[in-house]
Structure 1
Amino acid sequence: MSTWLVTGGAGYIGAHIVRAFVGQGLDVVVLDDLSSGHASFVPDGVPFVRTTILDTPAVVAALREHDVAGVVHLAGFKYAGVSVQRPLHTYEQNVTGTASVLAAMAEAGVASLVFSSSAAVYGTPETELVTEATPTAPESPYGESKLIGEWLIRDQARASADGPLPLRHTSLRYFNVVGSGDESVVDTSPHNLFPLALEAVAAGRPPTIFGDDYPTPDGTCVRDYVHVADVAEAHVAAARALDAGHALQAAYNLGSGDGVSVRQIMAAVAAVTGSDLEPTIAPRRPGDPARIVASGAAAARDLGWAMRHDLTEMVASDWRARGSASR
């Protein structure tokens, strides 16, 4: 298999994807501006290009220098709630940035792309179980920017279809990515539930639930939570499929099919950490839909996708990684 470049490969999810490539003996290159990633997350021996995806010539140079044949595009701004306050920044990073990556790929002759998309493209679905056919209706600038990214890729594929190097692609729609597959890599987001809850417990503070008045069984948001190592394996499977010339759907949900509420997460955190701190209730965060639970059947069929970690393992792996990082 040829060399793949991972944009955002020094971030929490990206670093796990890089490790999944390395673990399967595949050549990989990281491109990251370290705006939210960490150079220490890049494994020894993996080439690292520090630049922004907005610098198209720099991306072209990286693709050519490392003889890259495919791109896993993760780099972007990923916080739905914050995107409501920073729409221009969100669109620049996620829409202009994706257009820049596509332009660089076209100039460098790279024709395979796995795109990091999001469950946020669905907004608040009317169906109990989201499939790839569920209508998209994003409710935040972040969700909108990810959907536009998918449209840009689709349109570039159409435009190049009759040319010498047609773009082959798929988008993987993430849900809530949690846990750790390597104790040297931990989610450092200041907005995600797991780091917020576990760091609060570690500091002896009660964790926070943002909103307990949603139309769900226990009043808290219901989501798919998937282990980061399982998500990483799906990217390698997609890259392998594109390398082999297999036809893939335009998008796949990396969903579990089973929803977990924020209160259930808090119960798992208490069980794993031994904490008896009662969560405090804060107002809802803007841009947070009440429920999103998705079927991963299509990804299972075409990519061998599977949930290999349960909720307790997700929490425990994250807790161990935090303990390792603090030592």
Structure 2
Amino acid sequence: MTWLITGGAGYIGAHVVRAMTGAGERVVALDDLSAGGSAPERLPEGVPLVIGSILDRELVDRTIAGHEVSGVVHLAARKQVGESVEAPLLYYRENVHGLTTLLEAAVAARIQRFVLSSSAAVYGMPDARLVTEDTPCLPINPYGETKLAGEWLVRATGRAHGMATACLRYFNVAGAAPPESADAGVSNVIPMFFEALTKGEPPLIFGDDHPTPDGTCVRDSVHVADLAGAHLAAARHLAARDRPGDLTVNIGTGLGVSVRELADLVAAVTGRTEPAARVVGRRAGDPARVVASVDRIERELGWTARHTVRDMIESAWQGWCLRVSGESKIPGQST
């Protein structure tokens, strides 16, 4: 079968493409290249790339028919929390209407398997030591709302049209495999620390008075290569099913790491202990602790994360240094 991977030329999407093609799956990528860091050069050689938007129904139809697509892995979406607060209409159009258009095309083509990239943002600010898939979903920003609405839409479509579906709720994603494919954005905590250190500025820690062991927020960070492997496992799980059904799983490590611990690890990996991290006031809406329960994904897909937080930081730092020095060569990029 052939899998359509939307957002396939982005940071996470290209890792998913690499994992699936490396395992012998046939894929075609669809990406409008609007996200920072999305580039054709991210894709392995020989992977077809269709440049365009999932909002373009005619293009999606042609892509599905022309490449004989029989399954979809949907990653294309807007994903910046702050931007979603400022531009909710943009997020609902791209993340919900775009998904609606894609599902309509999939139903018309009688595609029977659909994997959705979701997010731990659907949980909002959970009051739980470990967040399970049954933890109430109470998103606190438009980004999380669109991801939750997307899950509802995918499951309802699956039930109505005999489509096997999977919704994958990512926790914090970091790292690169190989380093040249690192995230080019600076919206997550690890690249934010890198950017500050590169500028000779202190990395910022938002609040040290949370009810956690060291007072800083605790998060669950998963290596992007492990995340890509989870997509492969989900796709193959759906492909092997005789009957339609839906699956919703967290993708994390089940281990919490505090922001202070991350700052210390970044200093150790980079060798840049000065300037030291500086504590500033809390950010509104930051939950004290968000750590995944990973029992269901281990049980249902036989998947477990293999990389450590140090692995994530080391690979991300190598990629950061390559990009800053202007020497970055993404696999598949011509010299």
Structure 2 unmatched ranges of 5 or more:
328-335
Q: In 2, Cα distance between the equivalents of 1:284 and 1:97? A: 34
Q: Which residue in the other structure is 1:267 paired with?
A: 264
User: Does the C-alpha gap of structure 1 residues 214 and 81 become closer, same or farther in structure 2, counting only changes over 3 Å?
Assistant: farther
Deviation of residue 287 (structure 1)? 4.5
Distance apart, 1:297 and its partner CA: 1.1
1:108 aligns with 2:105: no
| 1:85 paired to 2:82 | no
Give the SS at the match of 1:184.
Answer: helix
In the other structure, the counterpart of 2:332 is none
SS for the counterpart of 1:250 is strand
Q: 2:277 is aligned with what amino acid?
A: P
Q: Equivalent residue of 2:222, what SS? A: strand
Contact 1:234 1:305 in 2 (8 A): yes
Alignment partner of 2:179: what SS? Answer: coil
Q: C-alpha separation between the residues in 1 aligned to 2:222 and 2:313?
A: 11
Write out aligned runs for 1:304-323 (5 A).
304-323=302-321
| Partner residue in 2 for 1:297 | 295
The letter of the residue matching 2:318 is R
The TM-score with structure 2 as length reference comes to 0.91
The one-letter code sitting in structure 2 at the alignment partner of 1:308 is R
Secondary structure of the corresponding residue to residue 83 of structure 1: helix
1:144 aligns with 2:145: yes
Question: Secondary structure, in 3 states, of the residue corresponding to 2:147?
Answer: helix
Pick which of 175-184 and 276-285 moved more. Answer: 276-285
Identify the residue that residue 280 of structure 1 maps to in structure 2: 278
| Counterpart position of 2:52 | 51
Q: Normalising by the residue count of structure 1, what TM-score does the alignment of the two structures yield?
A: 0.93
User: What is the identity, as a one-letter code, of the residue corresponding to 2:33?
Assistant: L
SS at match of 1:306: coil
Report the more deviating stretch, 293-302 or 213-222.
213-222
Alignment correspondent of 1:7: 6
1:245 aligns with 2:245: no
SS at 1:6 equivalent: strand
Q: Per the alignment, in what secondary structure is the counterpart of residue 63 of structure 1?
A: helix
Deviates more, 1:77-86 or 1:112-121: 77-86
Give the distance between the partners of 1:257 and 1:70, measured in 2 at CA: 29
Q: Contact conserved, 1:234 with 1:304, CA < 8 A, in 2?
A: no
Asked whether the equivalents of residues 13 and 232 of structure 1 are also in contact (C-alpha less than 8 Å), the reply is: yes
Change (3 A) 1:70 1:195: same
Aligned Cα root-mean-square deviation (Å): 1.6
Contact persistence 1:84–1:286 (CA under 8 A): no
Alignment of 1:73-222 (within 5 A): 73-160=74-161, 166-222=162-218
Contact 2:74 2:115 in 1 (8 A): yes
2:330 aligns with none
Q: Which runs of 5+ in 1 are unaligned?
A: 161-165
Cα drift, residue 47 of structure 1: 0.2
Tell me which stretches of 4 or more aligned residues in structure 1 moved more than 6 Å: none
Shift of 1:217: 2.8
The CA distance in 2 between the partners of 1:147 and 1:54, in whole Å, is 19
SS for the counterpart of 2:296 is: helix
Overall identity of the aligned pairs, in %: 51
CA distance in 2, matches of 1:250, 1:240: 13
**In structure 2, what is the Cα distance between the partners aligned to 1:274 and 1:248?**
49
